[in-house]
Amino acid sequence: MARQRLSIYSKPARVLWALLGGALASLAWPTDGFWPAIFVALPLLWFSIRNLRFWSALWIGLIGGFAFYCVQLPWLSIYLGPAPWLALSLLEAIIFSFGMAATAVVWSQVARFGNLASAAALAAIWVAREWASTHLPYGGFPWSTLAQTQSESPLAKWVFWGGFDLLSFAVALIAAIVLVTVLSLSKRASGHSLSSRGASRGNILGRDNLVNLAVLAACFAIPMATTPPVSAEAGTFTFAAVQGNANAGLFSNDVPGSILDKHVAATNQLSNLLAKHVPKASVIIWPENSADLSPLYSGVAAAEVRSVIDKFKLPLILGTYRFDAQNNVYNTSLFVGTNGKVRSHYDKQKPVPFAEYVPDRDFWYSIAPDLIGLISHGYSAGNRDGIYRLGKAKLGIEICFEVAIGEVSHSSVAHGAQVLIVQTNAADFGHSAEMYQQAAFAKLRAIETGRALVSVSTVGVSAVYAPDGTVIDSLTPFKAAVMVQTVPLRNSHTPAFWLNSFFITVFNLGSLLLFALALLQAARKKDPQQS
């Protein structure tokens, strides 16, 4: 028995558990979408660092973290090769490894308080590490959160109560309970005489494990019993959306104006739909980068945009670029009225580092000049809210990856958005999982904010989500297509709107406190005179 135990906890075995856990996690993310896989992956990752000290857990965590990110993000390599994919995976793995090292230290100290305390500590530290990954450095990388795996699971509606952080915590807590319960039962079984009779199920499980199972049941029961409201509190909003199926990637070499031409051509498909739909649409929505020639600076582009508006007698929301007086360039959404004039605009507040701009450009250019040289210009960050007013409706505009950044959606709702419009462009990622992973964010964001969400993409996934996450309509990816739909306008706020910042504060501060106390307790054990 001792030999088998040594084998399970040997260094090669720990590396194997870490690699398996990191690799299996990918099955839970779209497009595989087998969400239960995460409840196998996380226990394996945690088991790999069980009973290790900080630095040993750090190296095992680095291996597990690299596998965790590598298997989810190969779409980063489609246009730029493996360098960005591997570099980002390594950077995130470093942050991941510190989270795992902190977990190992805390776990060794809180285990004496029971299985549930251990599970809660593991889950809290995981979510705190997710917060660090999604905010650091350069604004972070808001991908690969546990919440993203659960858009199609019974757990999804946890975001209604506390946002993505609470959903991630629930997922991590379930996985941690599974792990500590299995470890506890294994320990009991090894010390329990198989010949003993009359032992009750409760005695075999133990009171603490029965409590664990009750918490486990509650983790599923609460979201399954949650029914987010979907009523039209402020009327309805009817729109037409266009997916142009254009090669609109940042690094594409299409003829200037070809992307705009394809969206104009696809928009012509709306004639029959608009004529049949009741109530009448009030706007046409194009995706991010749909006007590769900006109508602000190109007479040809302005004329094409005006031709669409004149034909359908509707205002148009489109994606393009603009310059300010200081010659800063922005990834911009334009709201063009029926008179052909720009009624409002929204500049992307969170441009993507190393894609839409290069932070500390001189430093990174000295390391990877060929790669950094591909990004010839950098988008600046916008500083105005994304609210478009259309009649009595208030539309909250977001651009592409901003749907993955909670602060943007929360700000839109705080400024009065009654429906969310996400203009996006997935053309740089081909037929990869990226567009489906982003769609998972969109669906969960609708539930979290209590707003219908309209996601319009150049190539897909273009879809409409009700405030409870129900898919109202969607378009086939990589096909020029259109849709006309009506969604509710809502003013009320979900619990997540009020409580999201509370939960992440508790998880972050709680994790820091647990880590500090664990270090203090470990130091006291080393120096018995302080006890």
For 73-122, the DSSP string reads -GGGHHHH-HHHHHHHHHHHHHHHHHHHHHHHHHHHHHGGG-HHHHHHHH
What does the pLDDT read at residue 195?
43
pLDDT tens by residue, 286-305? 999 999 999 999 999 999 99
Mean pLDDT is lowest, of 2-16, 65-79, 319-333, for 2-16
**CA gap 43, 61 in Å, rounded:** 13
Q: Which helix (H) or strand (E) holds 317?
A: strand 316-323
Q: What is the pLDDT of residue 154?
A: 97
- What's the rounded Cα separation, in Å, for the pair 158 and 127? 14
Query: What pLDDT, on the 0 to 100 scale, is given for residue 1?
Result: 42
Residue 257 neighbours by CB under 8 Å, 6+ apart:
292, 293, 298, 300, 301
What is the Cα–Cα distance from 266 to 482, expressed in whole angstroms? Answer: 7
- Classify residue 330 by its DSSP letter: E
Question: Of residues 252 and 441, which shows the higher confidence score?
Answer: 441
Helix, strand, or coil (residue 464): strand
What per-residue confidence (pLDDT) applies to 528? 57
Q: What percent of the chain has pLDDT over 90?
A: 76
User: For residue 468, what pLDDT is reported?
Assistant: 98
Give Cα separations from 216 to 103, 124, 172, 458, 503 (angstroms): 21, 16, 11, 41, 19
Q: Residue 199 — very low, low, confident or very high, per pLDDT cuts 50/70/90? A: very low
What pLDDT, on a 0 to 100 scale, did the predictor assign at position 197? 47
Percent share of the chain, pLDDT over 70 = 94
393-402 burial, b at 16+ Cβ within 10 Å, e below that, comes to bbbbbbbbbb
Of the ranges 76-80, 377-381, 396-400, the best mean pLDDT one: 396-400
What does the pLDDT look like over 143-184, one tens digit per residue? 999 999 999 999 999 999 999 999 999 999 999 999 999 998
State phi, psi for 11 to the nearest 5 degrees.
-60, -45
Q: Which residue has the tokens 């595989």?
A: 32
Taking alpha carbons only, the member of 282, 306, 302 closest to residue 293 is: 302
Instruction: Please tell me whether the peptide bond between 295 and the residue prior to it is cis, using omega within 30 degrees of 0.
Output: no
Q: Which CATH superfamily is domain 236-493 in?
A: Carbon-nitrogen hydrolase (3.60.110.10)
What's residue 82's pLDDT? 87
**Residue 529 pLDDT more than 60?**
no
Range with the largest mean pLDDT of 191-195, 361-365, 439-443, 518-522: 439-443
**Rounded CA separation 246/254 (Å):** 9
Region 319-323: mean pLDDT is: 96
- Amino acid identity, position 394: K
Pairwise CA distance, residues 208 & 214, whole Å: 10
Domain positions in the chain: 2-228+501-530, 236-493
Burial 124-148 (b: 16+ CB within 10 A, else e): bbbbbbbbbbbeeeeebbbbbbbbb
CA 47/CA 401 separation, integer angstroms? 33
Q: Are 100 and 47 in contact (CB under 8 A)?
A: no
DSSP 8-state assignment for residue 474: E
Kindly state the greatest CA–CA separation across the chain. 89
Q: What's the chain's average pLDDT?
A: 91
Torsion 166-167-169-170 (CA) sign: positive
Measured between alpha carbons, how far is 27 from 240 in angstroms, rounded to an integer? 35
pLDDT, one tens digit per residue, over 245-302 is 988 776 666 788 999 999 999 999 999 999 888 899 999 999 999 999 999 999 999 9
Alpha helices in 139-206 (DSSP H): 158-191, 201-205
Residue 483 β-bridge partners: 241
Cβ–Cβ < 8 Å for 467, 174: no
- Pairwise CA distance, residues 281 & 283, whole Å: 6
